[in-house]
């Protein structure tokens, strides 16, 4: 009987050790999914990810072709800000550098730090949209009642397929202090790539 208990204890320890290893591997795999997802999105243009281009790399081309870029801005329900584009659309020539601004205002009685997460629609066009400067590259602190103009400088690649005539650049601002761990990981991963 004692041998059975001894064998059972060994078996239980073995099952416990295997379970712990599996649990650790699952947690590790969960954390690895964020960068893997990011890499897949960068390669395929999924999830509206955009690229980054240096202003010196801009080459003006195809002056006869224009594209409409629409601008959209929203805030997460945990962020007591108003946020909107200064202009809602712009006709752009692919290959040429453009600038626009968004306006954010903290409507709370506290200082709040926000983080913008960008996306471009349609998804297949996102790989042709690059930002050279953007407020989304860093966290933004607005004091109580403060209003700030937030510039973005961008270029639509001259390689954009001719059948894509309208792009939408959208930002969602999140309250950095109240972001969940998953939202922070997603936002950080996107900003490292954008």
pTM flag (> 0.85): no
Residue 11: pLDDT band by 50, 70, 90 thresholds? confident
The long-range contacts involving 120-123, CB below 8 angstroms and separated by at least 24 positions, are: 120/48, 120/49, 120/50, 120/167, 120/168, 120/169, 120/170, 121/48, 121/167, 121/168, 121/170, 122/164, 122/167, 123/45, 123/46, 123/47, 123/48
Q: Which residues contact 143 (CB under 8 A, 6 or more apart)?
A: 106, 111
Render pLDDT for 34-72 as a digit per residue (tens, 0 to 9): 555 555 555 444 444 455 545 455 555 556 789 999 999
pLDDT surpassing 80 at residue 24: no
- Provide the CATH number for the domain formed by 45-193 in this structure: 2.60.370.10
Tens of pLDDT, residue by residue over 69-116, are: 999 999 998 899 999 999 999 999 999 999 999 999 999 999 999 999
């Amino acid at each position: 009987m004692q041998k059975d208990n001894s064998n059972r204890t060994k078996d239980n320890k073995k099952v416990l050790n295997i379970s712990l290893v599996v649990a650790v591997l699952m947690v590790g795999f969960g954390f690895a999914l964020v960068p893997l997802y990011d890499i897949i999105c960068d390669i395929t243009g999924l999830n509206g990810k955009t690229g980054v281009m240096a202003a010196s790399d801009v080459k003006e081309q195809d002056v006869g072709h224009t594209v409409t870029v629409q601008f959209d801005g929203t805030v997460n329900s945990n962020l007591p800000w108003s946020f909107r584009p200064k202009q809602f659309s712009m006709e752009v020539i692919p290959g040429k550098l453009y600038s626009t601004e968004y306006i954010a205002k903290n409507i709370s009685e506290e200082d709040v730090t926000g983080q913008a997460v960008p996306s471009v629609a349609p998804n297949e066009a996102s790989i042709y949209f690059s930002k050279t400067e953007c407020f989304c590259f860093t966290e933004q602190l607005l004091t109580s009642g403060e209003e700030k103009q937030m510039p973005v400088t961008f270029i639509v690649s001259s390689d954009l397929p001719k059948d894509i005539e309208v792009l939408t650049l959208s930002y969602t601002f999140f309250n950095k202090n109240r972001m969940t761990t998953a939202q922070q990981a997603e936002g950080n991963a996107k900003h490292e790539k954008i």
